[in-house]
Amino acid sequence: MDFTVFFSSLLDILNEMSPYILLGFLIAGILHEFVKPETMSRHLAGKGWKPVVKAAMFGVPLPLCSCGVLPTAVGLHRQGASKGATTSFLIATPQTGVDSIAATYSLLGLPMAILRPIAALVGGFVGGVWVNASDNGSGREPQISSSASQPVKDIHCDDSCCHTEPKGAGASLISRLGAAVKYGLVDMVASVGKWLVIGLIVAALITVYVPDQFLVSLRDRPLLAMLAMIVIAVPMYVCATGSIPIAMSLVLKGLNPGAAFVLLMAGPAANFASMMVLGRAIGKKATAIYVMSVVVTALFFGLMVDYLLPAEWFGLLGHNTGEMAHACHHSFGWFETSCTVLLLFLLVYSFFATRHHHNHSHSKSTDMTEIFKIEGMSCNHCRMTVEKAITAVPGVENVVVDLSAGSATVEGNFDSSAVVKAVTESGFDVK
């Protein structure tokens, strides 16, 4: 194994992506801090196509993965969003995000960066309208409370916490901008950092070690290549940003651009864990429609990329593999290098900060200890959602949520049924 070539390829991809990723994280922080959840809920209530379109438009810029979007979507639904609008939000949100759109532009070019949010919008609309049509008008959707005395809480879940305070209440513009920067460059990095690193490593491994002709044979059978990407992408977990370097490396090895686009759209939108949770939150029928909408839309746009759109739009992706690999190895200026160093620092910092919080934030003596087995957790978004929900239960003093074990150790003088209820209302099952 030529580690020198491997690390050189990894560094090249990092230098190419890091400025755009950091910019995307900052914009994500601003959106998180300044977009009010009550505004979203108000616009997503009621049936018809308008709430469905609004849900997709709200979801496209938000930097939430397929697991992280679940508590947000469940919260929106309980605050009055229709089932169709909730489904639209669930489809559109994990497929894109301002950070992934910027990173897509950096590695895959402007056409891919433009098509990605368009495909997310279309997929969200199709899925939402489909769910509403299948509902046949049965069942009443929950209504939003109009009580002004009860402020709508922020239901956005991130790796630092699930905030329960109204956004910006009594805060100055400077403090809110500071909170936006913290969310973007600390919480967001902690949220997607693991999967970004995995995506970068996989991309470098593909670039260096996969034979150049391995995927070339599939270029003459684009539909088969797309179906193969569906089979690989739908069950696995990959975030919208982490999928980009993988898609780029596969294209460099000969995969057709349409199949790469299928991977970009289908991979982040669904995984087995999220589908299990969705089955209970919005029903099995709506979940099936959700998955089918993701698959159909991804295939449609993949075929469009390969057969309908001008080939020159994707000329960068159609070059000879050897030429492309050579082109990727070029010198970068001080700005790109500085961005890479900053991104690496933030990744390391978020890793140790998360571990320190997990290991040392709970130290009080308590009256009782109980372990709850929890199903449906698959990422740090899920872990922090569960931890925040349990912490809010009266009498709970300490909470340690073990993601790998699927358990929560709760200490204090509390009502066990209240803990179960809090976890269930967050979108997860308690055994």
Residue 371 is assigned to a structural domain of this protein:
yes
Residue 349 is assigned to a structural domain of this protein:
no
Q: Is the pLDDT of residue 106 over 50?
A: yes
Closest CA to 116 of 251, 301, 273, 383: 301
311 and 396 co-located in one domain: no
Residue 374 is assigned to a structural domain of this protein:
yes
Give residue 132's pLDDT.
87
- Model confidence band, residue 175 (pLDDT cutoffs 50, 70, 90): confident
Q: Is the pLDDT of residue 124 over 90?
A: yes
Residue 351 is assigned to a structural domain of this protein:
no
Q: Is 310 left (phi over 0), alpha (psi -120 to 50) or beta?
A: beta
326 and 217 co-located in one domain: yes
280 and 419 co-located in one domain: no
* pLDDT tens profile 337-370: 898 899 889 888 877 765 555 554 444 444 688 8
118 and 241 co-located in one domain: yes
Read off the CATH number of the domain in which 375 is found.
Answer: 3.30.70.100
Give residue 215's pLDDT.
66
Region 136-148: mean pLDDT is 41
Residue 277 is assigned to a structural domain of this protein:
yes
How many structural domains is the chain composed of? 2
pTM here is: 0.68
Residue 62 and residue 91 in contact, taking contact as beta carbons nearer than 8 Å: no
32 and 166 co-located in one domain: yes
268 and 413 co-located in one domain: no
Residue 353 is assigned to a structural domain of this protein:
no
Residue range of the domain that includes 396: 361-430
Find how far residue 297's CA is from the centre of its chain.
18
Residue 35 is assigned to a structural domain of this protein:
yes
* pLDDT tens profile 181-222: 888 888 778 777 777 787 778 777 776 776 666 666 677 788
Q: Is the pLDDT of residue 400 over 60?
A: yes
Which is higher by pLDDT, 261 or 352? 261
Region 217-236: mean pLDDT is 82
Give residue 187's pLDDT.
78
CA distance 7 to 255: 23
- Model confidence band, residue 313 (pLDDT cutoffs 50, 70, 90): confident
367 and 321 co-located in one domain: no
93 and 137 co-located in one domain: yes
Residue 329 and residue 5 in contact, taking contact as beta carbons nearer than 8 Å: no
